[in-house]
Amino acid sequence: MIVGIPKEIKNNEYRVSVTPAGVHALVKNGHQVLVETNAGLESGIEDSEYIAEGALILQQAKAVFAQSDIIVKVKEPIESEYALMKEGQTLFTYLHLAPNLPLTDILVKKKITGIAYETVQLADRSLPLLIPMSEVAGRMSVQVGATMLQRDHGGVGMLLGGVTGVLPAEVMIIGAGTVGMNAAKMAVGLGAHVTVIDISKPRLTYVDDVFNGRVSTLVSNPYNMAELTKKSDLLISGVLVVGEKAPKLVTEDMVKAMKKGSVIVDVAIDQGGSVETIDHSTTHDNPCFEKHGVIHYSVANMPGAVPRTSTYALTGSTLPYLLDIVNKGAEAAMKENPALLLGLNTYQGHVTCKGVAEGLNKEYI
């Protein structure tokens, strides 16, 4: 197969979808790899390293899309890429379609076989191609939250860990999944007082065991959410319902009741966001906005800012699936691998992921 690797063009998106190790494996398996020039530069990878493994470098994204059977990306195509996709092409990337009707319409119209990293799901319900980036975003959420709490960034002017004789910040983490656990690790490490709130009691038991008393846990219900939100200095949301639009667990009234200068980091923004006062995603260039005196951070590609970590974490997980797709063909690979089949979001002019169709509220299935 001919595998195309375009350069990512979303705002401050510095990751690349395949590394020289990936090109090495693809070429060894008899495939041709087309890489857009400088696609890996921001992740520290020169064109010459791809060439050394047998890739061909093309000067323009247009040529990569036009000549490839499968396009492998990191982020969902943005508007300027819509016209480049070829009818019937396979697209393997993060798609996040549930809150994105325009892209879904294009993929359906062009009969793209759209396989989304974020809905590939193993029998134990884990998400092997989302987990690495959830780890990154979870850890980053505390870094950015701590920074935004600084007065010079609009926050109340508080150090997350406090100092001797001064209490630490209150950090509220919604969801005890990968994002939540990684955020908790970082926040505890910086000395904050951390509470994880989740609907699952067994999951909270796990948090309690793992952190051995260093993290408080709270069962999620609207009352507890409101009480905890009110006293938090930093709220991090890592809510996820696979494939679906994120539920709006933090209401506008809860935000209004928060302390002035407190900070919200909504990692669920990719799936439409979990905070009522966040109605749009932001960019790394302009990551925050203020509403009701609270700083809101809603960057949709957080890991894009740390490509030296993220590119390698992501491609280490995606490569085995990519090899399966190109060696067997997408259909055969999905038939043999139920986890990969769950990644299929669009196929032959249909939406094939229930959560996406429901999120779009359109008669797609």
Amino acid occupying residue 219: V
**Among this protein's residues, is 270 annotated catalytic?**
yes
Query: Least distance (Å) from ligand PYR to the CB of residue 275?
Result: 18
Q: Nearest 5 degrees, angle CA 180-CA 186-CA 188?
A: 95
Q: How many CB atoms lie within 10 A of CB 43?
A: 20
Compute the distance between CA of residue 90 and CA of residue 71 in angstroms, rounded to an integer. Answer: 6
Q: Which is nearer to ligand PYR, 40 or 261 (CB)?
A: 40
State the minimum distance, in angstroms, from the CB of residue 101 to ligand PYR: 18
**Contact letters (x/-) for ligand PYR, 58-77, by CB under 6 A?**
-----------------x--
Catalytic residue among 96, 198, 233, 266: 96
Q: Binding to ligand PYR by residue 42, rule CB under 6 A? A: no
CB of 117 to ligand PYR, least distance (A): 7
Instruction: Decide: is 301 part of the binding site for ligand PYR (CB under 6 A).
Output: yes
Site string for ligand PYR, 256-285 (x = CB under 6 A): --------------x---------------
Q: Is residue 133 within the footprint of ligand PYR (CB under 6 A)?
A: yes
Among 92, 94, 297, 364, binds ligand PYR (CB under 6 A): 94
Beta carbon nearer to ligand PYR, 91 or 192: 91
Write 24-28 long-range contacts (CB < 8 A, 24+): 24/53, 24/54, 25/319, 25/323, 26/322, 26/323, 26/326, 27/53, 27/54, 27/55
Angle at 139 between CA 138 and CA 141, to 5 degrees: 65
Q: How far apart are CA 344 and CA 21, in angstroms?
A: 25
Is 31 among the residues known to form the active site? no
> In the bound complex, what is the minimum distance in angstroms from residue 8's beta carbon to ligand PYR?
10
Is 87 exposed, middle or buried (CB count within 10 Å of its CB: 0-12, 13-18, 19+)? exposed
Is residue 303 near ligand PYR by the rule CB under 6 A?
Answer: yes
| Cα dihedral 197→202→206→208 (10° resolution) | 60
Active site members? 96, 270
Q: Which spans of this chain sit near ligand PYR (rule: CB under 6 A)?
A: 75, 94, 118, 130, 133, 270, 301, 303
